[in-house]
Amino acid sequence: MMTAVAWICGVLLSAAAALAIVRVARGPSILERVLALDVLLMIVVAALCVDMAVNRHTDSLVFVAAACVIGFIGTVTVSRYVTDRRNS
């Protein structure tokens, strides 16, 4: 049963990653591209979480936490930069 769930999660995460990569390539604004990259990073984090659940280990937990923090800080930084640039 766990193998079927892992395959379903893998297929859904792969489809989501493909759509996020399309948005990165086609996004009309820099904010949409940054948001798509943040979504792509969270898809990688979700894949690591699925791997940890299937294999019953916590080896990737530090990377998961660090990736979430770095993704958040990066998105906030870019959005503040774009907002400050538009107001000037």
Domain edges within the chain: 2-87
pLDDT tens for each residue of 22-70: 999 998 988 899 899 999 999 999 999 999 999 999 999 999 999 999 9
pTM for this model (two decimals) = 0.88
Q: What pLDDT shows up at residue 45?
A: 97
Backbone angles phi, psi at 36, to 5 degrees: -65, -40
User: Distance (Å, rounded) from C-alpha 8 to C-alpha 4?
Assistant: 6
- Residue 59 confidence (pLDDT): 94
| Predicted confidence (pLDDT) per residue in 12-27, tens digit | 999 999 999 999 999 8
56: left (phi over 0), alpha (psi -120 to 50) or beta: left
